[in-house]
Amino acid sequence: MKRIYRQLNKIPKKLKSYKLQANKGFTLIELLLYVSIASIILLITSLFLSTLLQSRIKNQTIAEVEQQGLQVMQIITQTARNAEVILDPAVGESANELKFDVIDVTKDPAYFELSNGVLLMTEGTGSPIALTNSRVNMSGFSASNLSRVSTPGTIRIQFTLTHINHAGRNEYSFTKTFIGSATLRQP
């Protein structure tokens, strides 16, 4: 052992430092390995972020349809509760429009109709107001008068809202059918 140590001491110092400096770099295989690992990490991260973005868009689409559907249903049921009489459809029948005789004379009659995928509400002699926006399409609007003799009027409402999907992408596709009912407070 001492002998080997003596021989190492005989090596010029310049040569020792050269050997140490030569071992400081990367080999081509190490470099390729590092680059491929970094590429895989970047690919996985970008796929994760893409999936996260699609999920966010899908959730916004669902929220848009549900929010508008609930808002429309609330407006119709509130109008029904504050109405005196259901004018259209007749008792025991269904129709694709809904008409109420309301207490407030300036808003009498209150009228709901579907026109080109948009639900319109007209109060009195006023102009129609769109209850849905341009990002959804309404279809299958139906009102059924479930009233019976000597009871307050009862109405059942059903409609389907579909998010408009111009891009044809899955995350923008969503359809939901809403069903509700309301009973008039005024006998």
Q: What are phi and psi of 49, to 5 degrees?
A: -65, -35
In a domain, 42, yes or no: no
In a domain, 79, yes or no: yes
Q: Which amino acid is at 65?
A: V
In a domain, 3, yes or no: no
Residue 93 corresponds to which tokens in the numbers above? 């029948």
Q: Kindly report, residue by residue over 124-141, the tens digit of the pLDDT.
A: 888 999 999 989 999 999
In a domain, 126, yes or no: yes
In a domain, 58, yes or no: no
Residue 134 corresponds to which tokens in the numbers above? 């341009």
Q: Kindly report, residue by residue over 70-118, the tens digit of the pLDDT.
A: 999 999 999 988 888 888 888 888 889 999 888 888 888 899 999 999 9
63 band by pLDDT with thresholds 50, 70 and 90 = very high
In a domain, 33, yes or no: no
pTM of the complete model? 0.72
Which domain range does residue 142 map to?
A: 63-183
The total of structural domains in the chain comes to 1
pLDDT for position 103: 81
Q: How far apart are CA 147 and CA 155, in angstroms?
A: 7
Residues 153-158, mean pLDDT to the nearest whole number: 92
Burial string for 105-127 (b: 16+ CB within 10 Å, else e) reads: eebbbbbbbbeeebbbbbbeeee
In a domain, 2, yes or no: no
In a domain, 85, yes or no: yes
